[in-house]
Structure 1
């Protein structure tokens, strides 16, 4: 039996630990926070993605389509709340029809069943929606991802799971190969290291002596909710046709398992790796972002888009106007602030956003450097992929 130390106790780290245990290995999971799934895993829209958006053949495409089935099956097996409710992707003007058709073609290439619907058919699903045409995606669902994390932890009961335990230093073991990870409670020795540290994954890679192929730039996604008396405006999930030049899907409306309706997110640069509001500020994190050349190249490329996102962050009226493109009855007074999330977006030095899952390897080490949405949907599949990479790393 070999031991693997997993840094990061979010849904990807826990799913990877589960897969390693299923393959007969021992695991130690180190999570710096006092609870599991404290960041991206616990601050997202809880959507089970179908896999229609991603480049055919990419890791995201393959793993989200497979993950859509596996995470729903896992949830049902473990009593985790889940509902496969489907969604609408809505074209609100004729100018968007070519992009809607291109999206349908991509979905079909990825093996995602979609149905083209007319404006009248779209309103049968969502009576308040503004549409000239839409796609109906039946396999999209909603789930309680924090409860998935708890179920994964329950499966790992009896193994070495450590909350409140950051990785302070990492080095290759001097004898016998493997790694040694310094923590506040002493040194953890293992045959291999898996880095699933999310917002800090590039820093953990550098701790381990690996030059990461991309840097993490944190983007905060801000949400509103519809007031309880306005929830009737949305029955399910309503998404816009995405801009293929951007890594984000655009603000959308999502009915949650508890009946609330979330609206968002927008995307603004966070001033701290775990910056859930404008008040969250870290000088060290801001300096890291400012020193990275890719940041400025990205800013020049998307200056107008970035400015619009910042303005929307401070203006409920602008936020409501974006939603009203999809559901015209939504107004500023219908919105109340909801919990934000932070996306760990990997960025290359040339200013290009990494648009696929990114896994770097070194001897006895596997580093998951880019696992934003749809990583939660794909978490069991990512776990299988990473566990395989670990086994190859010591072959």
Structure 2
């Protein structure tokens, strides 16, 4: 069969793109190829399940535009398909005087991005929202919520199939061949031919992109985020979501407290180098992949500049006491014995050759290929908007 669009990757972004193409062009022949035997098995299914508001992102950036629009599209989709979700709000907390200008900057960005109802908080007002949190100031963000993104992605897949799209599971893409008028996507099971390929490969998006763009100037660096959970008897300490003021040098939000869709409270994540791209445990190592990371000039420059921060994250990964200490900055009552082992996710973070960690989404276009090369958080929240953006680029070619 000849396809119009072949999409690689069965996470929220790949499925969101397929869904939006079929919404705009119902007769389009669309196939999604996913190497796992089910959808949403990596970033989509292993994140903190937060519906992000868009408060952090630079006004006008792809992240800001797609998060804010995607937020509305996601909520509409959840309501339409009866997917449980909660808009519980969150509090971003400053615990030191030096964080106050950064907190104000976040508030200003939120207002520039059109968020209504944001509220600057004094320390006392922070405790009105979260009685057990220590802070000298904060921001209340009413838009933030929680949803199970694996459930969302499974519903995306269901709707895609119902609208005539195809999803091929358990097929790993091993080659992409382009010509002036067609593209062929090769798996061990089959070769799929079509007019256009869209790469939403997440942790392997750069490797897939290099099959058509050998000179690609970014590499995915996998960062594992590890979580603890509050024991049941301590869940009362957290009412909604509690975040620190993030370090502006890094595209991570710091360890925080998050209520979970099925109940319970997660604490984390940290951000440590994963020794394989899908390395969800400390002992998961792929030597060739690790070697590629260590050899990348951009990564070596990050290490040279931020090695102390990296060592601190690694120490917290191995030391429950150190992880607890980081949490105590926000919530002094927390004790080691209040925490039990949680899950982990791996973030696909693009890094350029100069050592820059890309802070925005990155979409590259070629004649027969569109590569989504950097789509970490808030990509799940933004998935239908990213899908809309990519589908518009794709449909111009058909």
Which stretch shifts more, 372-381 or 1-10? 1-10
Question: Matched residues in 2 for 1:26 and 1:211: separation?
Answer: 30
Deviations 1:42-86 (A, max 9, x none): 000000001111111100011111112111111111111110010
State the alpha-carbon separation in 1 of the partners of residues 215 and 147 from structure 2.
36
How many angstroms does 1:210 deviate by? 4.7
| Alignment equivalent of 2:56, drawn from 53, 66, 69 | 53
Distance 1:22 1:213 in 2: 33
Match of 2:350 in 1: 346
User: Is 1:130 aligned to residue 134 of structure 2?
Assistant: yes
Equivalent runs, 1:302-313 vs 2, <5 Å: 302-313=306-317
Runs of 4+ off more than 4 Å: none
Separation of aligned partners in 1, 2:98 and 2:302: 26
Q: 1:33 aligns with which of 36, 40, 43?
A: 36
Q: How far apart in 2 are the matches of 1:278 and 1:28? A: 35
Tell me the residue number matched to 1:6.
Answer: 7
Q: 1:215-254 alignment to 2 at 5 Å? A: 215-254=219-258
Q: Secondary structure of the equivalent of 2:381?
A: coil
Q: Distance in 1 between matches of 2:215 and 2:365?
A: 11
SS of structure 1 residue aligned to 2:32? strand
Q: RMSD of aligned C-alpha atoms?
A: 1.3
Q: In the alignment, does 2:131 pair up with 1:142? A: no
> Which range moved further: 112-121 or 196-205?
112-121
Q: How far apart are 1:139 and its partner, in Å?
A: 0.2
Tell whether the 8 Å contact from 2:3 to 2:31 is kept in structure 1 after alignment: no
Aligned partners of 1:317, 1:329: CA distance in 2, in Å?
14
Alignment partner of 1:289 is 2:293: yes
Say whether the 8 Å CA contact 1:117–1:134 is kept in structure 2: yes
Contact preservation (8 Å) 2:3, 2:193? no
Distance across 2 between alignment mates of 1:353 and 1:131: 29
- Cα deviation 1:82-106 (Å, max 9, x = unaligned): 1001000011122221211111111
Give the TM-score taking structure 1 as reference length: 0.97
Alignment counterpart, residue 177 of structure 2, candidates 171, 180, 198: 171
SS in 1 for 2:394: helix
Matching of residues 1-395 of structure 1 within 5 Å:
3-24=4-25, 25-113=28-116, 114-157=118-161, 158-173=164-179, 177-392=181-396, 394=397
Aligned length: 392
SS at match of 1:4: strand
Query: 1-side partners of 2:201 and 2:212: how far apart?
Result: 13
- Listed one character per residue, the Cα deviations across residues 218-243 of structure 1 (whole Å, up to 9, x for unaligned) are 00001100011110110110000111
Structure 2 spans left out of the alignment, 5+ residues: none
* TM-score w.r.t. length of structure 2: 0.96
8 Å Cα contact 1:210-1:362 kept in structure 2? no
1:256 Cα deviation (Å)?
Answer: 1.2
Q: What secondary structure does 2:380 align onto?
A: coil
